[in-house]
Structure 1
């Protein structure tokens, strides 16, 4: 029961660690910026449901750990629920002093800043993790060279030849073979224009990546787009690149940006049915990945925290109530109209948004347990 291969030590504890760190950082973003804006905080919870334990600080905020470890919330003064929905009746019952610190009586910019801070802190956590990793370990890179072209692959049909060097992929300059893989892997079925260097001259080739199943670093089967070219040690000249602290930070920001863009591209393709539904998973899949990462070492768990954090931050910015992005849409409309939407319109939007969120949660749970 307590061995490294046990369910408790090998999977549940790494899962709780990963999820708790990501949720805590997200909610801490809301909390810190909200407090900076002078907004009162009634509760800060990691998890939902019944409280396991907690305490009150000197500002009257209840800090607590709750029974269902699948999220968390910050409940501001005047909120109707943990989704920060306004409660006009509760607001009217507040004292004059409390109204000055209630969330929904604040200027729209303070509310928007407080809401945006959650995803922002998720992105900052990812950047911080990557910056440390690049500072400590650097990264391995290889030149963007073609050493071999797989027969009858998209690259072979497009005319790629051994010795070609990638210059750009759909207008994006590339410096390493990993850059090429990153730009191609999420574009299965999309025609891509490649600028190549061959015998000192630039040529243009067009290829459409095909789907191929591969194993990622944690042993998961993933489907990615490939064109069928292979790099090797002789042409790629693999080497380790080291970074100064400033250089590592710049590289971390760039890497986080690439992940955000790739996530956006994936969701766009998923909505129109061009991505495999099994690439989406919920808590069960996250727990499985956390267990696999823990077996490889603590640094792998930390990297999983970074990847999950940027994903949570991105998803929370989707313009769907009650997600943070839905609130930001409301605040944008309020800023333009100089008045908030009617409570009826907001109630309809919250109900529709909650239905979408619950449907998505049900979908990933089904994927976890039965669908894939």
Structure 2
């Protein structure tokens, strides 16, 4: 046991500075835009914003703007919050007594006295801002670097592989998978890698004709250049890029936006597919990571170059935006669930019911954090 913790300590110590700075950069950008979404729509709706905080806990540094909103950086950099007038806590929980005692002027500034639609828009603006940020980043990278020029061509089929059993042959070109157009070999790899155990329909171009092949990618554990293990789906086909296929192809502005939306949608679809596999018992809960894993990935991305840090930032932005939309009290999705119930009933849930919901939500979030951190520690021990 002592050797286990000694290994963890050495792993963290050796990469501490290399992990922390990129991690704080990535997390700060993602959290800032999430909270900025809440903030901007709240201001638009006429809500008085008391606090805009990056991080939790004691304030390290801050200032008041002309609207008397306190902008601050707090000691625990694992998130952030926007506190509105009328909120009892950072989680935007109301106090019925305090709300009842407000004057008409105060009610005009209070978040909890806005219409259901306005409150829902303010809450949803955080995750939406995360998605917009990701689209902008992915689109910007496509506009600057171009898109891959690789052809989704089969240059070799490994013996005794899934591809061999399915009937793939050298020279085949993959035109579509499950009706989705495939333009590059990287497109094909992305779809296959997240589809282990799921049968896919491949539209193949062969000798001027089209045919359909069915194949179920096999689950295989592979290591990246940092030694991290990943369980992905593989077919067993090989691609050898020609000289003219190794260069990126420039894209225009509109096409870059399209690429940005496609990348965001792919991450969302992949996330739901992963959750479905967990529910079905086919996925591995060990793949769920937390702050330590994100810090490690941030450091590794930084070692490859700034563009990889920015790409990780976009990916994490989508993940955090999507996570916040889950209907769990305490998260944005939980608030939206309560507002949906309020709209259907014509009146909000009782203060008691909301308090119980937030307690349950807090328990679920804490359990997820503990579980994810436990997985992170095991991952570090095996690295």
TM-score exceeds 0.5: yes
Q: Name the structure 1 match of 2:20.
A: 12
1:112 and 2:120 matched: yes
Gaps of 5+ in 2: 1-12
Of stretches 79-88 and 236-245 in structure 1, the one that deviates more from structure 2 is 236-245
1:306 and 2:307 matched: no
Q: Name the structure 2 match of 1:240.
A: 248
Contact 1:147 1:229 in 2 (8 A): yes
1:254 CA drift (Å) = 1.7
CA RMSD of aligned residues (A): 2.0
Q: Name the structure 2 match of 1:231.
A: 239
Scaled by the length of structure 2, what TM-score is found? 0.90
Trace 1:1-372 onto structure 2 (pairs within 5 A). 7=15, 9-216=17-224, 220-234=228-242, 237-370=245-378
Contact 1:143 1:235 in 2 (8 A): no
Contact 2:182 2:188 in 1 (8 A): yes
d(CA) in 2 for partners of 1:106, 1:216: 50
Instruction: Kindly provide the CA deviation profile for residues 297-320 of structure 1, in whole angstroms up to 9, marking residues without a partner as x.
Output: 222211111111111111111111
Contact 2:148 2:184 in 1 (8 A): no
Change in 2 beyond 3 A, CA 1:44/1:55? same
Contact 1:218 1:293 in 2 (8 A): no
d(CA) in 1 for partners of 2:110, 2:225: 47
d(CA) in 1 for partners of 2:211, 2:15: 54
Change in 2 beyond 3 A, CA 1:316/1:218? farther
d(CA) in 1 for partners of 2:22, 2:186: 29
Contact 1:147 1:235 in 2 (8 A): no
Q: Name the SS of the counterpart of 2:248 in structure 1.
A: strand
1:122 CA drift (Å) = 0.8
d(CA) in 2 for partners of 1:30, 1:217: 39
d(CA) in 2 for partners of 1:223, 1:316: 26
Scaled by the length of structure 1, what TM-score is found? 0.93
Contact 1:163 1:198 in 2 (8 A): yes
Count of residue correspondences: 368
1:93 CA drift (Å) = 3.2
Q: Name the structure 1 match of 2:6.
A: none
Change in 2 beyond 3 A, CA 1:216/1:328? farther
Of stretches 24-33 and 345-354 in structure 1, the one that deviates more from structure 2 is 345-354
1:57 CA drift (Å) = 2.0
Q: Name the SS of the counterpart of 2:367 in structure 1.
A: helix
1:59 CA drift (Å) = 1.6
1:236 CA drift (Å) = 9.6
1:283 CA drift (Å) = 1.1
d(CA) in 2 for partners of 1:43, 1:200: 64
d(CA) in 2 for partners of 1:246, 1:357: 39
